[in-house]
Structures are given as structure tokens and as C-alpha cells.
Structure 1
């Protein structure tokens, strides 16, 4: 079955609905799987293997710094792939982004360690991490455009949640695989992986990326271009330099879109990266935390991520019914309150910690889901790939690149208390709230214009 986009541009060949959903979902699932594999290894493995021994906190901060380096490359990827996507089409760009991410992730699984290659090892890790960021810079906006530009009338926000659903699915796949490997290669020390895990076990999730990329490429190579892009070409509206055009004519939308995403990014990486460090740190550690063993806390996180997925899907119908802006204003207010509640929730024992994870990940789904439609709707079709990609990925520098690093610093500054980390989240959500109040509703825009 085929259908036209929301504007009803009849007679055009379109992608079947099942292909749209699968292509937008599977690609982002693979991309986020690759990203989460690195995020987990950044906490669990890399501080032990890619930096000189002696200071665990310094090694963890260095590992997070490399993690954040990818965010710097993401806007560059958004510009490069956005240029291709707005001039050559969505399909070829999505294939290129997926290949870049998959190759970089696979090569991380083959890298030498600090013991084997000295400082050359973390240098190579930085290069591969930058390549991952560059690829993700082009992946998200392309997947969101595949979903929204092919959506039936009145269902753009619903279809826009499918690329967003790749985030929780990628998390579950990545961490589930790490859990299986950790169970097969158990450690006698709950604060440190086993020698076999550190020697070769950690490489398996990175190498497995090759299989997932092959599946994703097969799906995406069967896509056809969206009606919106075809109409842009037919009408002669393709810009020679989409980047210059979007800055000249839609700068306000770029700024608003960047701050729309800020609370989402900060919450996202605090819940997935910082929480893993805080949850595993013992009370006698340099930075005291909750003291859970790795397996227990990751299982608790996976339960929370299930709610992430559920509320990502639920957010689509809500954003269609009440509008993207109104839905996100309510959710952002809830994130502000959530940030202020960290100390009492995390101090309430296992029940409080589990409630904290469920609530945080549920809010993550509610704020992340509508972005799949909102950011593309800010821009016309001839600069949509570039505009939505830049807004999404510049926000990654302001939010995700520094969030784990700032969180560790605030954790240390607070003497092991998460209080200031929660305040940081609330402050960033406050900036997102201001942007939403300054913005306008996009639910009824013509996606083919």
C-alpha cells in the first residue's frame, strides 16, 4: 500500500507505510546502539584500558571527555549530510551516515589499549569517536524526515516517534549484550570487570555492529525519495548552498530548535551515562554513590528504559491532539520538578532509586518523542535536512557533550551528593521552557512547502 504525504500531493510514488516505519526505526536503533555501546564502555572499560593507571577519577573524566568529543563532530556531520540530503536526496545520505557509524564502531572493537600502544591508543579512540559523532550528525534528521515527510495527514507526530524509538531500543540491545558478556565472564570484584572481559569481552558489542549495519543498509536501499523532496526538485527550489540559506532565512528557528532540545539532551545523558557511574560507585569510593553492582544497576536501568520506549510512543498521539508546543511545555515543567527531587528520591533506598529511573526515563520519552516532528516542521523542505540537523546537533554540544562531564564535576563538588546535578538539569530545562514559550505551534504546517 502507498500513500501521499500530509499535504496530499496526489499521484506521486511513495514508500509503503511499513517501509517508512522500519527504515526510520532500524537506522536510529543501530546508530543509538553504537552510541550506547561506547557510552557503556566509557564508564565500564575505557578508564581501565585507554588511560594510564593511578587516578580512577581522572581516567573517568578523560573517558567522558572523549565521549563528549563526538558531540563536537555532530554539527559538522549535520552540515555535511544536511547539504547532501537537501541537494541529492534523503536516501543516499542515510545510507552514507549508517555506513560511517558502523565502520567507526567496528574499528573501535579492534583498537589497541594504552598498555599496548601508549598514548596512540586514546588518540585512535578519539578519531573513531569523532567519526561516530559525525555520522550521528547526519543520521537523526534524515530518519526523522523519512518518517514525517511520508506520514499520512494528521499523523506526523505519531510517525515522528518511530525514529525516536530507536534510542530506547538501542540502549536495551547494547546494555543487554554487555550484561550477557559480563554474566559469561563474571568478576570477583564488583567494582571492576573481570580480566577476560577487559582483555577481549568488551570488544564483542563493537564488532557485532557490523551485522546490524548490514541489515539496516538492506532496508534503506529499498526506500524511494519522499514526495516533499521530489516536489522541491520539480519546482526548482533546491538551494546551491542550503547551509547559507538556512542561516539567512531561518536563523530564529535554528536558535529555538537548539534550545527546544537542550533539556532533552541533558536529561538523556544524565540518565544513561552519569547514572551508571553514580549507581555503581560505592560509599567508600573517591566519589561516593549508590554502591550497586554493575548487573543489578543496569537491569534497573533497562526497566526504566522500557518506560522510555512506552512514553516515546504515547507522546506522538498527545502531540497530535494537544500540539507539539503545549505538550512539551508541560513535560519541561515536569523535568524541572524532577531535577529538584533527586536527593529525596535517591535517598529513599532501592524503591526510590527505581522510581527515580522510571520517572526520569518516562520524562525522557515524553520530551524526546515529539522532537521527531517538531524540528523538521520548523523548516521548509529545501533546507529541512540541514536546518533540523543543525538545531538537533548544536544542542548536543550545549547539552550532551558537557552533561556527563559537568555532572561528574558537580558530583565531586557536592562531596558525593547528586543535589547540584539535579539543579543543573532543572536549570537547563528552564532554558528550554523559555524557548518553548517564545516559539509557535507547528502542527498545521505544510510539510511539502
Structure 2
């Protein structure tokens, strides 16, 4: 069998067979930590980036613990967006099919934007596995159509996004109606301070696994393009002329910026999709279907809209506007260079973005500075040369003062003479540095 690395977890034989069919040969870093903890019944906080194998880190052990003869709710998975809930549901159904248990393991999806009466009709028999958005699950509990009290495990996926979108209150209300001994599994790319009260309320001495590793895959390149007061849409058209993306996501900060940029690019002849929180459920569904069917190569998106959605084959991420915080940059570029494939992040930047770039640089990301000239990439001087030069000049200033001879007797004009001598020494040091850089 291929999955000898998973054998260490004493999973049910049928689970090992399904893992084999999935083609998994060894667990990812997050799976390595989470699977044994879930099997032991421990509550978990799992922090890892997009594409780290997080979904299977909880599905695999929860399926292994499933009691086929028990026709009550056994585990619940909540997600902040319909798209993510659908994605998890499809993964779960695929796993059930590979295990050959379509007739024995019952899972149901409950999300907003669907017919509630039909959802209630589905619940004449209670599913063992419930996947959905918190609002719809809470609705069905309040209607007394869904009984989650027997469930032994509860998953909160993308908890930081759940918090940002205001759904953590609904998760709180669901948990208040459940058995207080329920095993709670919380997954989040970041753990903001505002999430702490929720975690302290429901998690008693949880195992906290933070999978850091590289900020982005080694197969990924990070390019910078200085804006220099140019137009975003025009610059992206130049980029489109030199790259051949399988799929490129163009990120902006906010839905108004997304609407504007998508319209400008469309006017210039580029076929783009648009994804942001202001779209109706029907529009979002259509865009995601178009992406899957490869109707276009470019998607203009906001952070919130693209979180938790697995868009396959993203070869390029273009930051038309860099985010304000480091985690958002990591989330964005995590959309590409997945499963060992190569990827490129192209970042349009202003002077005010240099602070973020410096922080990412200190954490180990390597940025190269480029522009596009005559339809070709043209490498520029390093993005931090000016910063480095200023620092060097400041160091040389200090060094020059140290070399200035202090007069034994103070005479009129001695300060001016010392400054003159310091400037001469500094000029020599600056010349040496310029020569080294050449």
C-alpha cells in the first residue's frame, strides 16, 4: 500500500484504503499534528496557510471515528462562506465514495441562499455528518429540525474570516445548544486578539499547532513593479502582454476598487471575472462556475471573497494594490505555487508600500524589482537600494565623526574645521561604497 506513512495513526482499514485512492503518500505538516490529536479526542487550534491539507487533517480522523450504526449527528463542520462549505462537502462526499460507504455514511449540506423548507424536509432522518454555514445550521436548530446534541466533534473552519464576517456569534449560539463535552476543532490562518474570548470560552487546554515553515513556497517568485504614478489598468495590460497565465488572480483592497478595475480592464479588451462580497449568491455561483470551466484567465478579487475558495491552476497572483498587513499578502500568494507547481506573485507598489515589503523581506521573502519595457521584462536596481544607501550614508557619517581628530585646545571656529574634516572623510567612504556597488 502507498500510504504507509498514515498507518502510524491506527486509522480504520477502510480509511486507509480511501487515502490510498486519493493518492496521498504521506501526511502534510498540519495533518501530522492534527490527525493523532483528533483521534485522541483532544480539542485543537490549527494554524496553517491555504493549500496545506487542512481539510483532510480533520476529515480523515473524524471519518475514522464514525460509528456507522449510530444514526444521529456525529460531527459538524461550519464554514464562513457558502463556497467553502460546498467545497468541504464535496471533499467529504468524495471521501465517502472512495471508502465505498455512499449508502451507510450520511452527510448533508446546509447553506444560506437555498430553500429552508426543502432543508427541513431533508431532515426527516438526521445525517451523521453536517456541513454548512452557521446561519442556516442555527436556523434549522431553532426550527427543531436539526438535533446536534448527540454530536461529539465540531469544526470551525477559517475562524478569523468567521470573525471578520460577524458569524462567530452564530457559532457561539450553536455551541450553546450542544453537549458541553463536544470536541472543538478550530482552524484559522491567523489568531487575532478578538478571537481569544471565543477560544477561552469553549476550549479547555487545547492543543495549538502552528504550521509556519516558509511564508510562501520555494517554487514561487516575488516580483515588484514600481507604480511611478502610472495607471493600474494600463500597467496590468502590459503585464498581460508578457505573461501567459493558466489563471491569474488580480487582488485589490475593497469591492469598489474591484468593480472599477474589472470595468477598466474589460474596456481595454481583457476578459476578466469579478469576485467580491457585494455579489449576489447567484452571481458568485456563476463566476465560480466560469472559473472552473476556464472561461477566462484573469479574476479580479478582494481578500474576503477569495478566502477559502480553492481555485485550481492559479499560476500568477497580481497585487494591483498591496494589502496593509503581512498575513493578507501570505494568504494571497498562497493561491499559487501549490502542490509543488511553480508560481509568480507580481506586486505593483507605491513608496508607502515599502514598509510592508521591508517586513516581508525581514521574514525571508526575496523580492526582485522589475518593469516592462517594449513588451519585455526589464530588471531594475534593487527595490531597497535607496533605503540601503541612506543607511550606509548614515553609517559613514558616524564613522567619519569617529575619525575626526579632536583638537587639544579649543580655538575659535574649531567646530567648523571639524565638520569640514568629517565631510572630507565621509565623501571618501561614500565613494568606496559606490565603487563596491558597481
- The alignment's TM-score, normalised by the length of structure 1, stands at 0.22
Which has the greater radius of gyration? 2
Q: Which has the higher contact order (CA 8 A, sep 6+)?
A: 1
Instruction: Give the alignment's TM-score, normalised by structure 2.
Output: 0.23
Higher strand share: 2
